[in-house]
Amino acid sequence: GAVVSQHPSWVICKSGTSVKIECRSLDFQATTMFWYRQFPKQSLMLMATSNEGSKATYEQGVEKDKFLINHASLTLSTLTVTSAHPEDSSFYICSASRDSVAYEQYFGPGTRLTVT
Amino acid sequence: GENVEQHPSTLSVQEGDSAVIKCTYSDSASNYFPWYKQELGKRPQLIIDIRSNVGEKKDQRIAVTLNKTAKHFSLHITETQPEDSAVYFCAASGGGNKLVFGAGTILRVKS
């Protein structure tokens, strides 16, 4: 149990375009989902926390207008990178938690974004 | 907020030897400490976790110890195997149900 999927697994887009990444909990309801960014050979950097039906909480330094997060249902959260630039190229990973107080996070397989 | 430091950044061991990775945290209110293993290009996978009311937890070749007074916790892998080679991350709960991750340790097990 506790399987999280992400789609797409990789995407290449041109500068100025927007890209949407989906994160789904397949066999459980995820009250809370998290979005991370990971640069090569670096740790996971939390971008934002989203709770179903409410606005996402962004970490300091993360532009909420650039990284739009929607958590419309208990099994789906989306991250949209708007007006993408080459510096947005990264590995984006989501995770899901069963409730807002549970610490266990189940990670998706990640999405490799390359902006040309 | 919470800050987690992890050492060493890289660790090479001979197959069959033990490996120890250490983390320190800053927020005394943190009460959940997981360890994740991440292979190249893949998702982090939870390998073991410990809560603040426990000092040690073991699962086959993997163990985690927690010293709340000193605010540090460690991962111990015994009888290392080549398939243990990966990046290991420690984390600590940091407000709400967020996790704050350490910088990671590249473990190489030489056969």
The pLDDT of residue A100: 67
**Which candidate from A42, A97, A109 shows the least CB-CB separation from B43?**
A109
Mutate to test the interface with A, among B27, B43, B108 (most CBs of A within 10 A): B43
Instruction: Give the pLDDT confidence of A4-41 residue by residue, as tens digits.
Output: 999 999 999 999 999 999 999 999 999 899 999 999 88
Give the full edge-to-edge strand order of the sheet including B62-67: B4-7, B19-25, B72-77, B62-67, B56-59
What are the chain A neighbours of B46 within 8 Å (beta carbons)? 104-106
Q: Is A1 on the interface with B (CB under 8 A)?
A: no
For residues A109 and B42, give the distance between their C-alpha atoms in angstroms, rounded to a whole number. 6
For residues A95 and B43, give the distance between their C-alpha atoms in angstroms, rounded to a whole number. 10
Mean pLDDT split into 10-residue runs, chain B, 111 residues: 94 98 95 94 93 90 96 97 97 85 97 92
